[in-house]
Structure 1
Amino acid sequence: MSKAKVTDLKKHYPDLAPDKDYPPLKFRSLKGRVSAAEWEARVDCACAYRLVRHYDMHDLIYNHISARIPGTEEFLLNPFGLLYEEMCASSLIKVDLEGKVLWEPDWPQGLNYTFNLAGFVIHGAIHAAKPDIHCVIHT
């Protein structure tokens, strides 16, 4: 964790030990607040992030996994800066094929991860060109 980030987080989490602790990343669950199809896509996509992390196939925050929400022109993408082991179904950003952010989580106090423009450029082009593709992974 960079010194600047730890310093900023210390304001909100005074007991944070930068060598071993992470801030409590608790996201309000979207289960029951989104369609069943979207929830399933969110869970599957979050699981894919965790599996990529488990098998050490990631480059910290510099690769992407996206999942199309079935029956829509919308897909889910990781927020830039969130580690793969921190991903959950309710932390994924929902965007359309134009790059408009349709939904993003309320970030825990002191953190503000952003829309992953690099991920959108790559994944948006694939999802737009191939509507039958439901998941895109690159490592």
Structure 2
Amino acid sequence: MTPVVTQISWTNHLLIMSGCKSDEEHEFYIHLCIKENYSKRQLERQLDSGYYERYMPRYWSQNNLPYEVDFLIQRENDIFPVEVKSEANTTSKSMKKFKELFPDKVRLRIRFSLDNLNLDDGVLNIPLFMADQADRLIGLALEKRKQ
């Protein structure tokens, strides 16, 4: 197995070292460069646009209460709580609580599970095998909810 340090150019390493604020961001861009085979220009564009801040999933929990949302994702100016369920039980008290706490900020809640594709009561269920289509499906669900 080739060490990570030799899998991207020295120029890209310098850009990442000078442009990242945390170890997590540094690691994110190194792996992105390896996966996408970024040139210097492509990496500069991603660094300048704040790609890490826009696309890194976030996590939410409420202190002293048993509520937690697996991820928070940002799409344009919206924040979406995301739950991932691998079993048949897909109830989510945490997403309901998140909606209660931020009622005018949550346009849609997202759940990845083994269930079929479904939009019900503001919850978009995306089957696990369709996870790579999440952005497109979120866009369609938001359009449907406008109607």
TM-score, structure 1 normalization = 0.26
Relative contact order: is structure 1 or structure 2 higher (C-alpha 8 Å, sep ≥ 6)? 1
From the two aligned structures, give the one with the greater strand fraction: 2
From the two aligned structures, give the one with the greater helix fraction: 2
User: Quick check: which has more Rg, 1 or 2?
Assistant: 2
TM-score, structure 2 normalization = 0.25
